[in-house]
Amino acid sequence: MPTVPVVRSLRRVVRPRVPRPVVDLSHPARSPLGTSVVSCVAYDREGTRLMAECGIAEALACVRKGGSADDAGDTADGDGAAGDGGFVWIGLHEPGEAEFEGITELFGLHPLAVENALEPHQRPKAEWYGGEMMFAVFKTVSYVEHEKVSTTSEVVDTGEIVVFTGADFVITVRHGRHGSLGPLREELESDPERLAQGPAAVLHAIADRVVDDYLLVADEVQTDIDELESQVFASETPFGGSGSGGGSGTSRVYQIKRELLELKRATLPLARPLELLSDRPNRLIDPEIRKYFRDVADHLARVTEQISSFDALLDSILQAHLAQVSTAQNEGMRKISAWVAIVAVPTMVCGIYGMNFDRMPELHWRLGYPLVLAVIAVTCVAMYRAFRRNGWL
């Protein structure tokens, strides 16, 4: 039917995807620790980016001294205290242990948190270390474009963003092929008032962007589920399957359920960390910013409810598909039974007159043979019409 192929296009007209700016990885600030450092930017207390080109140690010294990168001096060893409320934001992508060692010593990061940051596939969480540093893990997701769902389609791709938050620093460690923070950095820099709220504002922006991506992916997954649902109720043969029982259609439903499980693993465990960030008092997060974390938690609750409804809908689609397969098999069996009954009439008559007995009625009657053929034909036609009226043929 023509409604099935246009489901995705119509949905995209209603919910057009907002393009995000391309990430700029050409920032001149590079650390000698390696190429995993994507960016290193210092901000003053007004949320303005310090334009001096400097490395990680120089950026931290600039923030803690309260001056420019050219004035950074003895505080580059990281022992100085926070200066004028500015902070440094360091972005890394899949760093190695040796590359991260210098950052660990410079910022005094907890070894357990560092170990979790370097190892991907962590569960979403938020932990505090001595009240001076917070460690958070977010699962990122992206939708993998495809023409239609097959038994091997990848629908959801996952990654991770690890965030170290201190009084004067934010360190983000990204794992995976997506979830770049470059566009988010540009968005925050266009609104200095948000950056002026400190590292907690960056943490909130990351959490908000991650949950917004959940909403986008959930909408795209809903499109795939709508297409499967349309195919179930629009075709006489379920999912275009054959007499084999439509096994490929069942596999496609299970493929969506497996990909939906990836989305569940990213969203469901994040509820508790967001609850802690929004309700637990600590000096790293201003009470005003905690209110915004509650809004992110509300969006996450919407996503989790949507995913739960997807799971229930997929179960219903699977049950409807199996019911259609069973109905198709029953119809096939009825047709076979009807034809067997029709063929049984000439088989029975010919079987009786095929017996080699000498004394059988009408064996020597001249009209016996055409009469038997006529009886067989009339009986078969009558049975055929009766089965047709009853919907068996």
What are the tens digits of pLDDT across the range 128-151?
887 788 999 999 998 888 777 666
* pLDDT value for 78: 37
User: How many whole angstroms separate alpha carbon 23 and alpha carbon 46?
Assistant: 24
Asked if residue 67 has pLDDT above 80, the reply is no
**How confident is the model over 36-60, as a mean pLDDT?**
80
Q: 162: which strand partners?
A: 137, 173
Take residue 4 and report the two structure tokens written for it: 């099935």
Cβ within 8 Å of residue 256, ≥6 positions away: 149, 155, 221, 224, 225, 228, 314
Asked if residue 256 has pLDDT above 70, the reply is yes
Q: Exposed, middle or buried, 152 (CB in 10 Å: 0-12/13-18/19+)?
A: exposed
* pLDDT value for 365: 74
User: How many whole angstroms separate alpha carbon 334 and alpha carbon 340?
Assistant: 10
Q: 169: which strand partners?
A: 88
**How confident is the model over 308-324, as a mean pLDDT?**
84
Asked if residue 380 has pLDDT above 80, the reply is yes
Mode of pairing for the β-strands spanning 87-93 and 169-175: parallel
User: How many whole angstroms separate alpha carbon 314 and alpha carbon 259?
Assistant: 12
* pLDDT value for 293: 92
**How confident is the model over 29-41, as a mean pLDDT?**
62
Q: Using a pLDDT cut of 70, give the percent of the chain over it.
A: 78
Q: Sheet of 156-166: strands edge to edge? A: 37-43, 87-93, 169-175, 156-166, 133-143, 125-129
Q: Which residue has the higher pLDDT, 15 or 373?
A: 373
Among 129-138, 199-208, 310-319, name the most confident range: 199-208
User: How many whole angstroms separate alpha carbon 56 and alpha carbon 91?
Assistant: 10
* pLDDT value for 13: 41
Take residue 44 and report the two structure tokens written for it: 């003053």
Angle at 100 between CA 96 and CA 106, to 5 degrees: 175
* pLDDT value for 215: 92
User: How many whole angstroms separate alpha carbon 316 and alpha carbon 42?
Assistant: 53
User: How many whole angstroms separate alpha carbon 102 and alpha carbon 55?
Assistant: 12
Asked if residue 355 has pLDDT above 80, the reply is no
Among 27-41, 189-203, 322-336, name the most confident range: 189-203
Q: Which residue has the higher pLDDT, 159 or 20?
A: 159
AA letter at 85: G
Q: Using a pLDDT cut of 90, give the percent of the chain over it.
A: 19
Grade residue 30 by pLDDT with cuts at 50, 70 and 90. very low
* pLDDT value for 6: 42
pLDDT, tens digit (0-9, with 9 covering 90-100), for 262-298? 889 999 999 999 998 888 888 888 888 888 999 999 9
**How confident is the model over 361-390, as a mean pLDDT?**
82
Q: Which residue has the higher pLDDT, 303 or 254?
A: 303
Question: For the whole model, what pTM was predicted?
Answer: 0.72
* pLDDT value for 22: 39
Phi/psi region, residue 179 (left: phi>0; alpha: psi -120 to 50; beta: rest), is: left
Asked if residue 357 has pLDDT above 60, the reply is yes
| Average pLDDT over all residues of the chain | 78
Take residue 173 and report the two structure tokens written for it: 């460690």
**How confident is the model over 106-112, as a mean pLDDT?**
90
